[in-house]
Amino acid sequence: MTRTLWTLCGLTLVLALGGSPALADETCQSPYMAKITGQEEYVYVWTLGVQGLGDGSDKLVTVDVRPGSSSYGKVVASTSVGGRHEAHHGGLTDDRRQLWVSGLDTSKIFIFDVAADPGKPKLVKTIDDFEKASGGVVGPHGAYALPGRMLISGLSNNKDHGGRTALVEYSNEGKHIATHWMPTAEDSNGAKIESVADGYGYDARVLPRKNVMLSTSFTGWSNYMMDFGKMLQDADAMKRFGQTAVLWDFHARTPKKVFHVPGAPLEVRWAWGPRNNYAFTTTALTSQLWLIYEDEAGEWQAKAVADIGDPSKIPLPVDISLSADDSLLWIDSFMDGTVRAFDVSDPHQPKQVYEKVIGKQLNMVSQSWDGERLYFTTSLLANWDKKGADNEQFLKAYDWDGTELKHRFSIDFNDAGLGRPHIMRFGAKSLYSN
């Protein structure tokens, strides 16, 4: 059995465990959370149901990735939640005992126990009053672990299904704690506004060392639920995309500065190095890599540092993953089904060093703690995914040897009657050695 280690992340201590320096992480996780530092054993895939395919319901799919296992690379569990909710993102609690996954459409949050049997997650609670409890937030998106609680970024609201939204906090027990509305021009909540403050939301991540949080902005329910082709031709709808990133005083939960980042900035990744006071984000529509950093005067700034592919073709970069040593940034783009690796050792001057077409369409990327294994899924949103033969739906696993991605296994989610695979999270039995 491959050894699995765990520690608390966000730290750069070299722990004397198994000779393995705890440098990296499964790079998309909250710094407050327990991490798998060795071999991940399961990949949990939050999957959108497709009408007419299997039971048509959203489901949590568990894939065995234990090397040498007889079911390696196979689906070992699948739990439907009943109905389609626009399954999208989710995250593990800080103690890694629960996986919270949410539906952007119905605003339901499904809580799975992944500790009792990591190979067979069990649905233990459904939060179905998110809109009411939060005071009108629609579209729970990320679920980001904070100590004893979850931070959930919304995407929309129940007044007009537009992009104005909030960050919502829940206790690990599933009780609403607080709602923080995004700053707008009318209600800036004291934030300094560079150009506009649209009040939109997408991702929210914390750099505890600097007591700052960074949030980004996508679009409201009407757009993320709409047929993508229709939306591209609706000039009004195209006006309703986020163009801001907000820097917050995390402890006080108050916005400090609203950066102008046009073109829908999505995923945020803070650098891990103890002196690396910066984060990356990519803009989906304008296909740019942005750096948000603290300058020498202690002021936070945002600037575009690279193009991703040919922006005039709208490759639509959608997910990113930063290696543990802050040197390599993986960027998935949806329209061209391509992953690109940028050398970001100098964050101000990223250089593309590798690219590979993974499929006809591509969305999420997750990498292991040591950066040696990468996993990819395809689905962006039910109504944004490609149509017809281009609608490939898969999980693909690769090894990264430092120069090349080498295919390990694929699971075709269409053939398996599962649906549209979206976010991935890792599990391991030895986290819960009790």
Residues between 329 and 388 with contacts to another protein, criterion CB under 8 A: 335, 382-388
In DSSP terms, which residues pair with 245 in a beta bridge?
259
> Which two three-digit tokens encode residue 209?
């060392």
Cα torsion through 15, 427, 409, 26, rounded to 10: -50
Least spacing, CB of residue 250 vs another protein, in Å: 9
Binds another protein by CB under 8 A, chosen from 2, 13, 124, 399: 13
Q: Which two tokens stand for residue 33?
A: 């959370």
Query: From CA 234, how far away is CA 399, in angstroms rounded?
Result: 41
Q: Pattern 401-420, binding to another protein, x per CB under 8 A?
A: --------------------
Considering only 57-65, 159-167, 339-347, 393-401, which stretch makes contact with another protein by CB under 8 A? 159-167
d(CA 246, CA 72): 42
Residue 191 CB, shortest distance to another protein, in Å, is: 14
Q: Which of the residues 98 through 137 are near another protein (CB under 8 A)?
A: 105-107, 115, 129, 131-132, 136
Within residues 33-62, the interface with another protein by CB under 8 A covers: 34
Q: From the CB of 362, what's the least distance to another protein, in Å? A: 13
Q: What are phi and psi of 62, to 5 degrees?
A: -110, 125
Give the position of tokens 């944004």.
384
- Shortest spacing between CB 401 and another protein, in angstroms: 30
Q: Using CA atoms in the order 127, 133, 135, 140, what is the torsion angle rounded to 10 degrees? A: -20
Applying CB under 8 A, among 89, 149, 257, 425 the residue interacting with another protein is 149
The one among 87, 246, 285, 324 contacting another protein by CB under 8 A: 285
Interacting positions 231-270 with another protein (CB under 8 A): 232-241, 243, 249, 251-254, 262-263
What letter represents residue 45's amino acid?
V
| Distance between first and last Cα of the chain | 18
Q: Which is nearer to another protein, 10 or 90 (CB)?
A: 10
By CB under 8 A, tell whether 202 contacts another protein: no
Residue closer to another protein by CB (options 27, 106) is 106
Q: What is the rounded distance in angstroms from the CA atom of residue 266 to the CA atom of residue 155? A: 11
Q: Which of residues 303-322 bind another protein (CB under 8 A)?
A: 311-314
Could you give the CA distance from residue 11 to residue 201 in angstroms, rounded to a whole number?
Answer: 28
Q: What is the nearest approach in angstroms of another protein to the Cβ of residue 409?
A: 27
Q: How far apart, in whole angstroms, are the C-alpha atoms of residue 202 and residue 265?
A: 8
